Amino acid sequence: MSMTVSLTQYSVIKLSGVDATSFLQGQVSCDVTKLTDANWLAGSHCNAKGKMWSTFIAKKIDDALYLIATKDSAAASLAELNKYGVFAKADIVDDTANWHVYGSDHVNAQGFNFELAPGHVLILSKDEIETSGDAAQWWHQEVLSGRAHLYAKTIGEYVPQMLNLQALDYISFNKGCYMGQETVARMRYLGKNKRALFVASIDQPVEFEIGQDVYVALNGNRRAQGKVINFSNYQGETAVQLVLPKDIEQQPIYINQDDDTALSLLELPYSLAEN
């Protein structure tokens, strides 16, 4: 049975006006000039130090640009974009009320489809679409995909490479300057990044707090070695995205310091090898 579910976790930012493209090009990590009516891009929006306000999916529709991001991160990006947008001929607004966002396991005849992975589709639609299935299933697949999102406690904490965005084509290393570009480039060309996103799981339902510590055993003690970025529960299994040292070895990742409840690292569905 096919699945199409409503995703209320997202907001939609709209940029319009003669300077919309050139303005956004100087703000985000993807090459906005490559957007056409027929394609879409993924990208990130950073502060001047290269720490991210948001990750997003970008789409050009008619003469406007739309960014789809989690509510927390969209709010942060909207505020920052408007801070600098006053110097450009661009209108930047929260356009969420005019859209419906869905997740599906197939391309739908309605709306604008973003196939994030085979059988894993994000849909932006002006019209309501009939739904069926469990939204928890779609989000579980999203967590397992290693595609990162930001929430209140993780906004402004990570540069794009710490969430593996270079491996998912969120970053153009050939475009001109943009906010935080110096830090992002230094991470790539000088090998400064020492952390990465990992996916782990446990065969029981566990509730996490975004941003909480996880631990590994070092010299007989458990020490905080990473943080929770996102998680999902589905059919008794919990999947978790973690930011950990890049060179961490395959070992139990403990949820706390008090008992042996531990996560097992999974293989990422993409390569972290530099191009």
With a pLDDT cut of 90, the percent of the chain lying above it is 88
Residue 107 gets the label, from left (phi > 0), alpha (psi -120 to 50) or beta, of beta
Q: Residues with Cβ < 8 Å from 260, sequence gap 6 or more?
A: 252, 254
Rounded CA separation 215/221 (Å)? 9
Say what the pLDDT of residue 258 is: 85
Q: Say if residue 275's pLDDT is above 80.
A: no
The answer to whether 46 and 79 are in contact (CB under 8 A) is no
Say what the pLDDT of residue 274 is: 63
**Tens-place pLDDT, residues 228-258:** 999 999 999 999 999 999 988 878 899 998 8
| CATH homologous superfamily for the domain 4-187 | Probable tRNA modification gtpase trme; domain 1 (3.30.1360.120)
Sequence ranges of the domains in the chain:
4-187, 194-265
**Tens-place pLDDT, residues 188-237:** 888 788 999 999 999 999 999 999 999 998 887 899 999 999 999 999 99
Q: Say if residue 6's pLDDT is above 80.
A: yes
Task: Tell me the residue length of the chain.
Answer: 275
The CATH number of domain 194-265, selected from 3.40.1030.10, 2.40.30.160, 1.10.1060.10, 3.40.50.970: 2.40.30.160
DSSP state of 34: G
Residue among 60, 49, 9, 52 nearest 28 (CA): 52
Residue 124, strand partner residues: 101, 112
**Tens-place pLDDT, residues 8-49:** 999 999 999 999 999 999 999 999 999 999 999 999 999 999
Say what the pLDDT of residue 8 is: 96
